[in-house]
Amino acid sequence: MPDPESPFDEAYFNRYYESRRTRVHGKKEVARLARGVTEMIAWFGGELATALDVGAGAGLWRDWFAAHKPKTKYVSTDVSAYACERYGHVQRDIAAWHAREKFDLVVCQGVLPYLDDEACAKAIENIAAMARGFLYLEAITARDLREVCNREKTDAAVHPRTGAWYRARLDKHFTQIGGGLFYVKAGPLVFYELERA
């Protein structure tokens, strides 16, 4: 049942996901991104048997995986009751939950900036606990809001942290490869110095 207190309601999803005029990314853009991320994982020799989408929104990553990587076991979650009902995700709050299983890829696109500092730090720990391989992370920073984001299409009602804030917490668990891609430090893959950010 939808939560009337949640900001992630029907109006939110209509504006930021469904409307061609006001959405940031649509099916075509996410398809390019998913193809790029999965091809980079293949280039580095990573496995892709399992994937977890944290904050799956309209399910565009899941739909791309179903069409292009159907053998990958894909789990999609979202905190929004509305999104779970409409798009078929499992309702989970990444700041309070992590699965017992680990995933070859965790996708976390546009989630962390909505969380306050404490919840965000917990979410990063939970993501790290579930990551066996790669993490694709998109989290807009204070600088992005000032210099990069299209304010007409970006929800600016977020916690505008610095990139350094995120890196300080991610660096405990992950090696940053670049382009939003990270790899668990305990994993078997190694990277050349200039492949790392």
Tell whether 5 is covered by a domain.
no
pLDDT, position 1:
39
Tell whether 4 is covered by a domain.
no
Tell whether 3 is covered by a domain.
no
Q: Is the dihedral of CA 53, 54, 59, 61 positive or negative?
A: negative
pLDDT, position 155:
65
pLDDT, position 18:
63
Give average pLDDT by consecutive 10-residue segment, the chain, 197 residues.
57 61 74 97 97 94 97 96 91 96 96 95 98 96 84 73 96 96 96 92
Query: Could you tell me the pTM of the whole model?
Result: 0.89
pLDDT, position 148:
80
Tell me the C-alpha distance between 156 and 166, whole Å.
Answer: 18
Instruction: Supply the range of the domain harboring residue 149.
Output: 10-195
Amino acid at 100: R
Phi, psi of 125 (to 5 degrees): -60, -40
Tell whether 1 is covered by a domain.
no
Based on the structure, what is the number of domains in the chain?
1
pLDDT, position 14:
59
The CATH number of the domain where 103 resides is what? 3.40.50.150
Tell me the C-alpha distance between 180 and 124, whole Å.
Answer: 14
Say if residues 123 and 139 touch (Cβ distance below 8 Å). Answer: no
